Structure 1
């Protein structure tokens, strides 16, 4: 089943899907970072929310 684009939170709350604009918007707001900073974190540690959170809190 395809993602429901009307839902604005993440479909899998343990992963960040950088290819989905609504998920990027959700996570940048949640972490208080720019899209570029979020992408940097994903590139460094993968798309796990826990790993990204740890990376961004350094």
Structure 2
């Protein structure tokens, strides 16, 4: 995978979009939340993965884009 592809993938992961089943699965696994709870949290803080992590009290690791 090229550096450009890695950057694009990281940028895409920075915003939570729950329109596709595989995306729902990814984010519910990533945060360890049921789908309904994840959707409520996104409705409250917005779709930015960084904001969701902050609301959950989880640190954003260096080099982690989402």
Do the two structures share a fold, i.e. TM-score over 0.5?
Answer: yes
Max radius of gyration: which structure? Answer: 2
Separation of aligned partners in 2, 1:56 and 1:38 = 10
Which fold has the larger relative contact order, with Cα–Cα distance below 8 Å and residues 6 or more apart in sequence?
Answer: 2
Q: CA deviation at 1:56?
A: 2.1
**How many residues are paired up?**
50
What is the TM-score when the length of structure 1 is the normalising length?
0.73
Q: Distance in 2 between matches of 1:21 and 1:10?
A: 19
Structure 2, gaps ≥5 residues long: 1-8, 59-66
| Bigger helix fraction | 2
Alignment RMSD (CA, Å): 2.3
8 Å contact 1:41–1:56 — kept in the other structure?
no
Q: Deviations over 1:7-57 (max 9, x none)?
A: xx8881101111111111001001100001110111001100000111123
Matched residue, 2:35: 35
